[in-house]
Amino acid sequence: MFRRKLEEIGSAVYRTFCYPFVRMGIERRTKSILKPKSYLIRSSLRGRNYLGKNVYLKNTTLGFGSYINDNGNFTNTWIGNYTSIGTDVKAVLGSHPVHGHVAMHPAFYAKSGAMGFTYAKEDTFEEFRMVKGKEPYQIVIGNDVWIGNDVKIMQGVTIGDGAVVGAGAVVTKDIPPYSICAGVPARVKGYRFEPGEIEMLLALKWWDKEETFLKEHIQEFSDIGSFLKGEKERRQHETGNCSRGL
């Protein structure tokens, strides 16, 4: 107990007096904006990010240009490029045995004793679930995703590229790319574009392109038809150049 209290005091001192300077270094290195009381533990920012007040990231990767507004809380989460996350959005990790087990308290199924004590001699329930193929991440949020305020995202979930999650939703299952979802639990209400357009956007992966390209073609981003037409013309031009080279 004495050791735990010392660790708590040390952590408070570090966060109050030392971490503000660490935060300044992260801002300069990644060209990002980190508001007061935002805090990162073993997490990475890919550049041009924004973290609002009281944002907490642990074992999390935040893609280029993505931002999280005030009071966001993410652990073991991978977030793609140019994703927009509202205020009070939380990753919800861990579970309890509802069926089969007599007791739902972790003292009866987890030997770690994370809550201070345990009766279990072995783990008899899988408390934490990873996203298959994305281990050790428990939640994956794609590129160009918009998540509204007060959304809760359960472990094991993947939110596809270009998806919209309405304010107040509870995401319990995977969200398809470019879908518009809302509700408790979140359900698909529609899609942003036609199936063929979605297929082309997923193949193009514009969010991986250099900033020079995005700046040069910024006007096309206000209309899906213009963007896809421009991309088709660019590909035809590239194909023509390759043919002449042969």
Residues marked active site are found at 99
Q: Under a CB-based contact definition with an 8 Å cutoff, are residues 151 and 171 in contact?
A: yes
Distance CA 199, CA 209 (A): 17
Element counts in the chain: helices (H) and strands (E): 5, 19
Sequence letter at residue 214? L
Closest-CA residue to 162 (of 80, 219, 90) = 80
Maximum separation of any 2 CA atoms in the chain, in Å: 76
Please give the structure tokens belonging to residue 185: 């639990």
Please give the structure tokens belonging to residue 211: 């900033």
Q: Under a CB-based contact definition with an 8 Å cutoff, are residues 61 and 78 in contact?
A: yes
Cis-peptide into 136, omega within 30 deg: yes
Q: Under a CB-based contact definition with an 8 Å cutoff, are residues 159 and 153 in contact?
A: yes
DSSP SS3 for 149: coil
